[in-house]
Structure 1
Amino acid sequence: METFTEWRTWERARADLAARSLGPDDLVVLDRAVDAALRWHGDQRRPTGAPYAEHLFEALEVMVRGAGVTDLDTLVAVLLHDVVEDTDATVSDVEAEFGPDAAELVDWVTKPPAGGQGRQAKRVAKTAYLRRLREAPPDAIRVKLADRVSNVQTLDRMPPDFQRRYYLETVTYVMPLIELLGDDTGGWFSGWYTSWRRRFGHLG
């Protein structure tokens, strides 16, 4: 199972993107997206304690180095995919800085607030969100799949009860999204998740 942990910093990611023939204008836009993501996420950390930016760069690496996607709006959305859900930023803020197409992708992958208090309400809201993704445009599905690759590629570092719950959620709701792509990226994601499922199949 291939893992995506080489792009730990924007400098490293940017150099690789430049080598893959992204033009200077596109790189300037991505510079701004990284600045915005770092500004909005601030000092947030991943559950492992690592800086949150590492997750964003991993998801970007999955999209580019893995799936081979270099569409600018999609890459901007990968970098900003959690800002509306996890920070004070709004979809309107994203649209004002990066345009309606990137903002729409971020909106699709943003989990809405739970309608009530407690774990059950959150679970119901998340399930509804994951089911709704089947109606999302292909680029939004790619963003979600890249995001989840970053989150599950080191699933064994998480607490055991979380591992099993997240594994089942991924198999039940996220992996079926791949069949909606029907192109080369769908083939790549299918291959990656198949190898991942073999690696963590004991959790099922």
Structure 2
Amino acid sequence: MEVFERWRTWDAARADLAELRPALDADSIGRAAHAAVRWHGDQTRPTGAPYLEHLLEALEILVRGAGETDPDVLCAVLLHDVVEDTATTVAEVEAEFGPRVAELVDWVTKPPAAGAGRQAKRAARSAYLRRLRDAPRDAVRVKLADRASNVQTLDRMPPDFQRRYYAETLTYIVPLAADEPWFASWYASWRERYAHLL
């Protein structure tokens, strides 16, 4: 199973993009990376690493793994958490990056739970994940890259989280990869690597 962790900074990503996809407009993708940094601010990953690392991993998965070249999709993957995890709105994303990027971000944004309890949060999360079955192909690719970044090093998470996240990924995310050959293959390898969590 390939792990994507080479792009720790935008400069590293930009250098690889120039080599791998010279026809790609790296400036527009760079604008999305800088906007993500601005909007996410001081947020970090559970490991304490800068949040940008997750976004760049998802970008690397789409570019180096899945061969994505659509600039809107690549911008959306860098911005996929800004509405869910910050005060940024879909309208603000649209104002800076256009309606298509905003729509993709909106599709992969988990809505807030209707109640504060654990059951309400769980129900909202399940409804969001089921809704992804109706998402446009490009939004699905953004979600597949997002989750691949989150689960590629699942063994670094607490054991109870590992089992829960593994099961959720098998139930809701792996089926989304069925029509995406690269992602289907990657998730099959991932599933085998972490099969002991069942």
Task: Please report how far the alpha carbon of residue 27 of structure 1 lies from its aligned counterpart in structure 2 after TM superposition.
Answer: 1.3
Name structure 2 gaps, 5 residues minimum: none
C-alpha distance in structure 2 between counterparts of 1:131 and 1:31, whole Å: 32
Percent identical residues: 70
Q: TM-score, normalised by structure 2?
A: 0.98
| Aligned equivalent of 2:152 | 153
Asked if 1:197 corresponds to 2:196, the answer is: no
Q: Secondary structure at the match of 1:177?
A: helix
C-alpha distance in structure 2 between counterparts of 1:202 and 1:68, whole Å: 30
C-alpha distance in structure 2 between counterparts of 1:192 and 1:107, whole Å: 25
Task: Please report how far the alpha carbon of residue 28 of structure 1 lies from its aligned counterpart in structure 2 after TM superposition.
Answer: 1.3
Alignment of 1:24-39 (within 5 A): 26-39=25-38
| Aligned equivalent of 2:41 | 42
Asked if 1:3 corresponds to 2:3, the answer is: yes
| RMSD over aligned Cα atoms | 0.9
Q: TM-score, normalised by structure 1?
A: 0.95
TM-superposition CA deviations, 1:100-158 (whole Å, max 9, x none): 00100000000000010111111100000000000000000000000000000000110
TM-superposition CA deviations, 1:22-43 (whole Å, max 9, x none): 447x211112111100000000
How many pairs does the alignment contain? Answer: 198
Alignment of 1:173-184 (within 5 A): 173-179=172-178, 181=179
* Alignment partner of 2:182 out of 179, 188, 196: 188
Name structure 1 gaps, 5 residues minimum: none
Task: Please report how far the alpha carbon of residue 176 of structure 1 lies from its aligned counterpart in structure 2 after TM superposition.
Answer: 0.4
Task: Please report how far the alpha carbon of residue 19 of structure 1 lies from its aligned counterpart in structure 2 after TM superposition.
Answer: 1.0
Counterpart amino acid of 1:70?
Answer: T
C-alpha distance in structure 2 between counterparts of 1:23 and 1:89, whole Å: 30
